[in-house]
Structure 1
Amino acid sequence: MGLSRTGKRAAMSSESTFIERTSATETSAVNERHFSALQRGEASVDRIASVRISHAILPLKTSISDAKVLTGRQKPMTEIAFLFAEIRTESGLEGVGYGYSKRAGGKGQYAHAREIAPDLIGEDPNDIQRIWTKLVWSGASVGRSGLSTQAIAAFDIALWDLKAKRAGLPLAKLLGAHRDSVACYNTSGGFLSSSIEEVLENTDAAIANGIGGIKIKVGQPDTRIDLRRVAAVREHLGEDFPLMVDANQQWNRSTAIRMGRNLEPFELTWIEEPLDAYDAEGHADLARELATPIATGEMLTSAAEHAELIRHRSVDFIQPDAPRVGGITPFLKIMALGEHARVRMAPHFAMEIHLHLAAAYEHDPWVEHFEWLEPLFNERLETVGGRMIVPARPGLGFSLSEQARAWTQATERFGSAQFEGAA
């Protein structure tokens, strides 16, 4: 006997309710699994168990002066502050990264790092871009460039070091190297605080150690002194040896044009920071007017600021600094923009990091040699025939020395795992 119309409606209603309830239950289960995956990372292969940060001061053997000192804008530099980040995972892997500050700012970087370090615990260390975004938004109210992102840089660099170590590869190879060595030039012997006789002696020592280019500082109030120093170094090196000059932002536009033309007979590889770091239009005018290539970018603190230089065609050589722009993650964005625009690259300072990034850059880069940081690490980089050799060691290929521990003024740990050999 069939159901009545009323009975059919009741059965249909009951079936509809069952379907709705089942659908809601299934949806809830799917949502719960999705939320769980977001929280736990079901595809994750490891977790960050602990983080240690340290604030260390590296004293320089002699005080250093460039044009900013001679124009009264800064005091001579006598030390460099470092922010070290050591990240250990549940599987026992460890990555090391660093940021730095010349003159003021080191304590501020360390203080910000202390605030955001706990946000790393429990994260999958392979999710570097997501972690960078998480950390930058943790401190977004104080900005997404400058000191806040420079604190992030130490963590970001440590994560890239760790990722390459997991793969058993040098970072350059993990990124995809174009070369196994990079042309290198020395800066540390050419400061304005050194007499021209000392500069020439330093030049000879650098070349004997396998350096392939020499950069000297210019930008003195009396430009005739600059020209005499450049002439002396060019004569000493010969016509074909790569020579660069660096004005450290101390020229105005008219002086830069005049000096650029006066320097053209010396066949320089580039003129660095002739104008204020943020004067993209002025640098673009120089790049159009002068035969000598223009280089700048080291003082910028974000990928967006470098994008402006590239957009305006302000540079022949872009000079990003990974610790200053927030780490390797934003640095890779600058590399992509630079490769697309076909500009060359010469990263600033931090050769232990930048050697790997330069090796992975398409357009014939340079890397800057500074021996200042060598006491901080147990390993040394090799220079042969004018080039710096990419080390075969996994990751960035360096570890902190006992001297770095001795220079440490403050340190703090977050998470559960203990670091072996901790001071």
Structure 2
Amino acid sequence: MATSAFLDFTKATETSTVNEQHFAGLRAGEATTDRITGIDISLAFLPLAAPISDAKVLTGRQKPLTEIAFLFAEIRTESGLSGVGYGYSKRAGGPGLFAHAKEIAPELLGEDPSDIQRLWTKLVWAGASMGRSGLSTQAIAAMDIALWDLKAKRAGLPLAKLLGAHRDSVQCYNTSGGYLSMSIEEVLANAKASVEHGIGGIKIKVGQPDTSVDIKRVRAVREALGDNFHMMVDANQQWNRSTAIRMGRKLEEFELTWIEEPLDAYDAEGHAALARELATPIATGEMLTSAAEHRALIKAGSVDFMQPDAPRVGGITPFLKIMALGEDAGIRMAPHFAMEIHLHLSAAYEIDPWVEHFEWLEPLFNEKLEIAGGRMIVPNRPGLGFSLSEQARAWTTDRVGFGSNS
């Protein structure tokens, strides 16, 4: 037995020495295992079945929404792997995103795709004269998300698992069925269909010029859903402080899960006052375009539910910073839109979050997300778990490629 133990020890020592010799051959700065060889950037427009309106349209600040622009990035490497990511714009901005992304995308060629944080910074500084938030970083988002998709695929893991998941499914709520352009009969029918589909919460838009109309619509939906079903409302930044506090108090009888964007997105002080005064939680943040802006919102005590949007803040890399800020402050999270991306990020968030469901996005991808028991299930496919459909290709209006096409 002593001889056997000695031989095992000798074998283990030899294996360790071989491994040390192998890794010793990699000098500092030469740990690259793959290189980016090709990048495709494309712009597609998803048409909506019917124009939709929220409070921003009723106040005359915007026109009804008829289509959504999507910026797609597809990144290939010399090992044969590929990653896909997207950003988007509602109303104006899509062609601008495409133009900026087209200028800076070649900066990624030849780089190690795993160095995502460094590459995000490189892309930011490539267009720094345009600023380090807003359109310039939203154009980066599609590439950053594609790199995270690629990194998770290399590991053979869903992105949520790569980040370290707290759960395999996330509470989900539907928004697309509750717009102000829809009659209350349509809203109720849409809510019923969502519940039957397994959705766990319903959000409807508010912000009518006549606030009594809002109360009637909220009451009708609450009565249809029952007292214990999760329900949210969204004013899309169109109330002033006095209207917000009055409406907030009137809405308390409905025991809402949250009131979303009651004030201008940058009114941190006003949101903080509402959060202190009202029993109903306050949610906001979807319109912010950087981690720094979210830090200010959290520091002011303005939110009970923060609502970052990965494509709007510049991708997953800055989104992870926002997650860390939120977890440190003990704030719940309900990311805006982009459910294919936010499902994974929400699954990796420590405090039980929500994810927003929009069936509008389903034609863009070959895979569909599964919903059951009020929750959206994290797919077990590597990466983000989606690929672009032929319909997405058909809706593409502009496309440019760099590097190898193979």
Q: TM-score, normalised by structure 2?
A: 0.93
Corresponding residue for 2:308?
320
Quick check: 1:284 aligned with 2:266? no
SS in 1 for 2:216: helix
Tell me the SS of whatever aligns to 1:231.
helix
Residue 96 of structure 1, CA deviation: 0.1
Partner amino acid, structure 2, of 1:88 = R
Match of 1:390 in 2: 378
Q: Give the equivalent residue in structure 1 for 2:238.
A: 250
What SS does the aligned partner of 2:42 have? strand
Cα distance change, pair 411–262 in 1 and its aligned pair in 2 (3 A): same
Q: Which amino acid aligns with 1:108?
A: G
How many Å separate the matches in 2 of 1:232 and 1:204?
12
- CA-to-partner distance for each residue in 1:389-416, whole Å, 9 max, x for gaps? 000000000000000000000100001x
Q: Who is 1:104 aligned against? A: 92
- The letter of the residue matching 2:189 is E
Letter of the 2:405 partner, please give it.
Q
1:164-203 matched pairs, under 5 angstroms: 164-203=152-191
> Does 2:207 match 1:219?
yes
Task: Give a deviation string over 1:67-94, Cα, whole Å, max 9, x none.
Answer: 0001100000000001000000010100
Match of 1:306 in 2: 294
Q: Distance in 2 between matches of 1:272 and 1:410?
A: 35
Matched residue, 1:28: none
* Counterpart selection for 2:145 from 135, 157, 163: 157
Q: What's the CA shift string for 1:153-207, capped at 9, x where partnerless?
A: 0000000000000000000000000000000000000000100000000001001
1:418 is aligned to: 405
Which of the numbers 116, 129, 136 marks the counterpart of 1:141?
A: 129
Counterpart of 2:288 in 1: which secondary structure? coil
What is residue 53 of structure 1 aligned with on the other side?
41
Match of 2:226 among 220, 227, 238: 238
The Cα of 1:418 is off from its aligned counterpart by 1.3
Alpha-carbon distance in 2 for matches of 1:93, 1:80? 29
Which of 387, 396, 403 aligns to 1:408? It is 396
Rounded Cα–Cα distance in structure 2 between residues aligned with 1:232 and 1:408: 40
Cα distance in 1 for residues equivalent to 2:350 and 2:181: 36
Q: Distance in 2 between matches of 1:283 and 1:408?
A: 39
Q: State how far apart, in whole Å, the 2-side matches of 1:149 and 1:175 are.
A: 22
User: Per the alignment, in what secondary structure is the counterpart of residue 391 of structure 1?
Assistant: coil
Deviation at 1:42, TM superposition (A): 1.2
Q: Distance in 1 between matches of 2:275 and 2:207?
A: 18
1:262 positional shift: 0.3
Q: Specify the code of the residue in structure 2 equivalent to 1:249.
A: Q
Q: Distance in 1 between matches of 2:361 and 2:250?
A: 35
After TM superposition, the structure 1 = structure 2 runs for residues 268-283 of structure 1, keeping only pairs within 5 Å, are 268-283=256-271
Aligned to 2:109: 121
Q: How big is the shift at 1:37?
A: 7.7
Relative to 1, partners in 2 of residues 1:37 and 1:76: Cα closer, same or farther, differing over 3 Å?
Answer: farther
Question: SS at the partner of 2:362?
Answer: helix
Counterpart for residue 378 of structure 1 = 366
- What is the aligned residue count? 381
Q: Which whole-Å CA distance do the structure 2 matches of 1:82 and 1:266 have between them?
A: 36
Q: Distance in 1 between matches of 2:76 and 2:238?
A: 43
Mapped partners of 1:337, 1:134: distance in 2: 23
Measured in 2, the distance between the counterparts of 1:359 and 1:330 equals 17
Equivalent residue for 1:68? 56
Bigger radius of gyration among the two: 1
3-state SS in 2 of match to 1:308: helix
Instruction: Describe the SS at the equivalent of 1:353.
Output: helix
What are the ranges of 5 or more consecutive residues in structure 2 without an aligned counterpart? 1-25
In angstroms, what is the RMSD of aligned CA positions?
A: 1.0
CA distance in 2, matches of 1:324, 1:49: 27
Letter paired with 2:206:
V
Distance of 2:27 and 2:235 partners within structure 1: 53
Cα offsets for 1:325-364 (capped at 9, x unmatched): 0000000000000000000000000000000000000111
Alignment-mate amino acid for residue 401 of structure 1: S
Aligned partners of 1:194 and 1:413: how far apart in 2? 41
Which letter does structure 2 place at the counterpart of 1:163? K
> What CA distance in whole angstroms lies between the structure 1 residues aligned with 2:30 and 2:325?
34
CA distance in 2, matches of 1:310, 1:390: 28
1:247-301 deviations in whole A, cap 9, x for unaligned? 0000000000000000000000000000000000100000000000000000000
- Residues of 2 paired with 1:260 and 1:223: CA distance? 11
**Matches of residues 335-374 of structure 1 in structure 2 within 5 Å?**
335-374=323-362
SS at structure 2 position matched to 1:149: helix
Unpaired runs of at least 5, structure 1: 1-35
The residue identity in structure 1 corresponding to 2:132 is R
Q: CA deviation at 1:220?
A: 1.1
Q: Deviations over 1:285-330 (max 9, x none)?
A: 0000000000000000000000011000100000000000000000
Give yes or no for the alignment of 1:260 onto 2:248: yes
Mapped to 1, the partners of 2:347 and 2:108 lie a distance apart of 29
TM-score (norm 1): 0.89
- How far apart are the structure 2 equivalents of 1:60 and 1:236? 27
CA deviation vs aligned residue, 1:135-159 (integer Å, no higher than 9, x gap): 0011111100000000000000000
